Amino acid sequence: MSQSASLLDRLRARQWRITPQRRTVAEVLHGDHVHLSADEVFAAARRRLPEISLATVYNTLNELVAMGEVSEVRAGAGVTRYDPNVHIRHHHLVCTGCGAIFDVRPEGITGLRLTGPDRHGYSVDEIDVVFRGRCPSCAPSPPARSLA
Amino acid sequence: MSQSASLLDRLRARQWRITPQRRTVAEVLHGDHVHLSADEVFAAARRRLPEISLATVYNTLNELVAMGEVSEVRAGAGVTRYDPNVHIRHHHLVCTGCGAIFDVRPEGITGLRLTGPDRHGYSVDEIDVVFRGRCPSCAPSPPARSLA
DNA sequence: TTCCATGCAAAGTGTTTGCAATAAT
DNA sequence: ATTATTGCAAACACTTTGCATGGAA
């Protein structure tokens, strides 16, 4: 269930320059079911290290993503969240009401693939699957947008 | 291959108030493999109707999405594209190099589902699948981000 | 004639960047 | 001592909004 080494340990192993700010961000991102937005990471980090700046949080998150230690999850329009669980292959279940996210390991995922013509000559590196629906709290069904 | 009725026809059927601006946006969005950003829609619309404003393009796109006649495709960081092909179920193949998008109908998609515990009590309304890779032009492989 | 859509420009988001001061190795 | 990181604030890209004008039905 848990990662073999903490994010921080993995960063040390990479000989990444550890600063109080980077360490704090890494600590905030510790866990298997964490999906925080940059602002949330900033808020949480600030509680432990009041002088940290938002720019540093963004810089750090971008570096973690570039290193492949954290992945970005696009939950919806303009909503980017950061997921430190990059070691266990998984996908996401997103609530269209409140934005809550769960990691999931769907059935049938192994059969997914693009056949010849549909590959369009691409080399496929990854497959992102996002299940969208309503969580128990936002229950009923979509807020029935009125239209036309 | 083609939609039974054009987007514009569908809008008329909905008794949507047709203005030159809305008609132009609908015309720009005509087709099965169209994935334009708001800016691109604006640029194309402007060629036909120079006095159209970007705000109107955004308003119109948002209304089309709310009506369910166009869907938003989140290709990557901050890139929202609009896809008028909402009648034929399909997914997307995105090039991580140039951002090119293709509609695809992957094999094995029907077996995809969340079993009990993984459903977390959600009612699942849709499943988005995005294949990411490199198109023939951006060929090789990822630009190998340097790190640590 | 009534009501709604438009255009404009200003205001909002969320994110990135330049640069001098500062800290990690 | 060297070199990279930080914080700040300004700059950015994208999107939304308020309001008076103009156009669709």
Of A72-76, A129-133, B33-37, B48-52, the least confident: A72-76
Query: How far apart are alpha carbons A22 and A52 in whole angstroms?
Result: 10
Nearest CA-CA partner of B130 in B85, B82, B46, B73? B73
Q: pLDDT tens string for chain B (148 positions)?
A: 444 578 899 999 999 999 999 999 999 999 878 999 999 999 999 999 999 999 999 999 999 999 999 999 887 766 799 999 888 889 999 888 778 899 999 888 888 889 889 999 999 988 889 998 888 888 765 444 443 3
Q: Which residues contact B62 (CB under 8 A, 6 or more apart)?
A: none
pLDDT the model gives residue B77: 66
Around A67, how many Cα atoms within 13 Å sit in the side-chain half-sphere?
Answer: 20
pLDDT the model gives residue B140: 64
Does B96 contact chain A (CB < 8 Å)?
A: yes
Which amino acid residue lies closest to nucleotide C4, measuring CA to C1'? B17
Nearest CA-CA partner of B72 in B60, B81, B85? B81
Nearest CA-CA partner of A130 in B83, B126, B101? B126
Does A114 contact chain B (CB < 8 Å)?
A: yes
Cβ-defined contact of B136 to A122 (cutoff 8 Å): yes
DSSP string, A14-68: TT----HHHHHHHHHT-SSS--EEHHHHHHHHHHH-TT--HHHHHHHHHHHHHHT
pLDDT the model gives residue A74: 84
Instruction: Using the structure block, give the residue that is written with the tokens 């492989």.
Output: B141
CA–CA min distance B49, chain A (Å): 23
Q: A114, A137, A146: which to substitute to probe chain B, counting the most B Cβ within 10 Å?
A: A114
Does A37 contact chain B (CB < 8 Å)?
A: no
Q: Which residues contact B126 (CB under 8 A, 6 or more apart)?
A: A131, A132, A133
Q: What is the CA angle B122-B124-B129, rounded to 5?
A: 130
Instruction: Using the structure block, give the residue that is written with the tokens 């903490």.
Output: A6
Stated pTM of the model: 0.85
- % helix, strand, coil for chain B, step of 5: 30, 25, 45
Query: How far apart are alpha carbons A25 and A5 in whole angstroms?
Result: 16
Which range, A4-8, A61-65, A96-100, B122-126, has the best average confidence (pLDDT)? A61-65
A136 C-beta less than 7 Å away from strand C:
no
Q: Identify the DSSP state of A110.
A: G
pLDDT the model gives residue B145: 44
Query: How far apart are alpha carbons B71 and B64 in whole angstroms?
Result: 8
Query: How far apart are alpha carbons B21 and B28 in whole angstroms?
Result: 11
Mean pLDDT of A36-62: 97
Q: Give phi and psi for B91, each to the nearest 5.
A: -130, -170
Q: Which pair of structure tokens corresponds to residue B135?
A: 């198109």
Query: How far apart are alpha carbons A133 and A137 in whole angstroms?
Result: 12
Whether domain B7-133 has CATH 1.10.10.10: the reply is yes
Does B102 contact chain A (CB < 8 Å)?
A: yes
Q: Which residues contact A106 (CB under 8 A, 6 or more apart)?
A: A91, A129, A131, B112, B113, B114, B118
Cβ-defined contact of B78 to A77 (cutoff 8 Å): no
CA–CA min distance B47, chain A (Å): 27
pLDDT the model gives residue B138: 81
Of A13-27, A46-60, B9-23, B133-147, the least confident: B133-147
CA–CA min distance B123, chain A (Å): 5
Buried b vs exposed e over B114-141: b needs ≥16 C-beta within 10 Å?
beeebbbebeeeebbbbbbbbbeebeee
